[in-house]
Amino acid sequence: MTENEPIQRLLDLSRNLSLSLDLEPFLQQVLSAASELTSSEVASVLEVEESGGQFRFLAVPWFHRDALKSVRVPVKGSIAGWVYQNVKPALVADVPADGRHFKGADQAAEFVTRSLAAVPIVYKGETLGVLEAVNKTGSAHYTEDDLTILETLASQAAVVLQNARLMERVQKSLNEMAQLDKMKADFIAIASHELRTPLGLILGHSTFLREVITDEHKSQLDIIVRNAMRLKEIVDNMANMDNVQRGMASLRSRSVSIKRVIEEVMDTFHDEAREKRVTLRVEIKPEDILIEGDAAKIAIALSNLVKNAIVFTDSGGHVLVAAEQIPGYVKVSVMDDGIGIPARDLPHIFERFYQVESHLTRRHGGMGLGLSVARVMVEMHGGRIWAESVEGKGSNFTFILPHESDQAAAPDGAFHKSL
């Protein structure tokens, strides 16, 4: 080995370090550099397990891989453990004579460890494992120079090891999130399914009773009907979301009169708006617009927007629903002069379960599903939906749907600022 060879080798390795994302190939390079540069028979990387009580062999030469795969080295009762606990290197010239030596690995690999040099693998003060070079060739002993080489290699291994750990944690969090998402979806499916039938019965019977009961008790039944209707809206949103998630939602496309959809939706909100003293207004230019689409789904999207506009607008406020034809699309806007949405929340409001106020403190009902359902309904038509809002001033929710004379997809980017 020339004098510069170790330095060259270490330099090559650190260049690879920045390219290396895969733990295993990089650690194999570390092992071969460690054994060659320190003239050792073998080298290995031991990683401490999460419990902290034992090591596993993270990287060993291929011919020891199978034998050492399931071997665990105790932290208390091994030279590697001593290095790990003391965060200090160890040079051991006569391993069999050293009381700290753990014989289990030698036995499993049918190997005899005579001498070793070991250094801790430390990343930002945290010891992640141990790098060992074993059996100095010939009758030579390990030296301080060997330790310097191993320490340099260990510091590079530390970076890669830490990256791998972070990746593992990220992956774990992603899996947990996917799991949670599934649980939410299952909950929605079960709850919406189980609530539908009893709710339908409550609504049916109370509506019937309201017709036949004396005036004296009508107002009580009105309360029951109104609140059951509110529950129905929530359950409907849950069921719609569930259908979409299961891929069971499909468009029943026919010619749809936008004017009629708007009028029918507005009809369902007249009482609510009047009670709250919120003025509803409709503007359609030109008189009517016909598109190819699913009237029921467009009505769901619009209902959710109008409902929010009324809910989040104080008494005395105004809600305007406007529709107009723009090139290739029909554009429907629901504008209010209500409480508005803080800028930091605006990018998230179309996410499932997102609510601006915490559900514990908020004054309004709902599950944070209305807007995500509206978005899905609009996107199923090849349309787009977005919101603009100024806190304290009001909100403007707009969706566009392809017009039947031009079914091209909504232009990308044209509205991205607000999406």
In the complex, the residues that contact ligand ADP under the rule CB under 6 A are 304, 308-309, 312, 336, 338-341, 349, 354-357, 366-372, 395
* Closest CB to ligand ADP among residues 124, 363: 363
Cα-based distances in Å from 400 to 321, 334, 369, 373, 415 = 13, 12, 20, 15, 10
Residue 267 C-beta: closest distance to ligand ADP, Å: 20
Residue 371 C-beta: closest distance to ligand ADP, Å: 3
Q: Are 121 and 127 in contact (CB under 8 A)?
A: yes
* Closest CB to ligand ADP among residues 291, 341: 341
Residue 249 C-beta: closest distance to ligand ADP, Å: 17
CA 32 to chain CA centroid, nearest Å: 39
Six token digits for residue 378: 């609009």
Q: Are 353 and 184 in contact (CB under 8 A)?
A: yes
Q: Are 33 and 5 in contact (CB under 8 A)?
A: no
For the four alpha carbons of 147, 60, 108 and 131, in that order, the dihedral sign comes to: positive
Cα-based distances in Å from 269 to 177, 229, 240, 279, 311 = 37, 12, 20, 11, 11
User: Would you list the DSSP string of 334-397?
Assistant: EEE-SS---TTTGGGTTSTT--SS-TTT-SS---S-HHHHHHHHHHHTT-EEEEEEETTTEEEE
Six token digits for residue 315: 């008494």
Residue 316 C-beta: closest distance to ligand ADP, Å: 15
* Closest CB to ligand ADP among residues 328, 368: 368
* Closest CB to ligand ADP among residues 335, 400: 335
Residue 230 C-beta: closest distance to ligand ADP, Å: 11
Backbone angles phi, psi at 21, to 5 degrees: -110, -25
* Closest CB to ligand ADP among residues 111, 354: 354
Other CB atoms within a 10 A radius of the CB of residue 397 amount to 28
Give the separation between CA 282 and CA 121, rounded to whole angstroms.
Answer: 70
* Closest CB to ligand ADP among residues 148, 333: 333
Residue 418 C-beta: closest distance to ligand ADP, Å: 14
* Closest CB to ligand ADP among residues 39, 333: 333
Give the separation between CA 76 and CA 128, rounded to whole angstroms.
Answer: 16
* Closest CB to ligand ADP among residues 300, 309: 309
The CA-to-CA distance between both ends of the chain, in Å, stands at 63
Residue 225 C-beta: closest distance to ligand ADP, Å: 20
Give the separation between CA 369 and CA 271, rounded to whole angstroms.
Answer: 23
* Closest CB to ligand ADP among residues 71, 334: 334
Residue 313 C-beta: closest distance to ligand ADP, Å: 7
* Closest CB to ligand ADP among residues 220, 279: 279
Give the separation between CA 59 and CA 154, rounded to whole angstroms.
Answer: 13
Q: Are 48 and 78 in contact (CB under 8 A)?
A: no
Residue 233 C-beta: closest distance to ligand ADP, Å: 8
Residue 165 C-beta: closest distance to ligand ADP, Å: 37
Backbone angles phi, psi at 7, to 5 degrees: -65, -45
DSSP reduced 3-state for 285: strand
Residue 11 C-beta: closest distance to ligand ADP, Å: 56
* Closest CB to ligand ADP among residues 89, 370: 370
DSSP reduced 3-state for 94: coil
Backbone angles phi, psi at 4, to 5 degrees: -85, -10
DSSP reduced 3-state for 120: strand
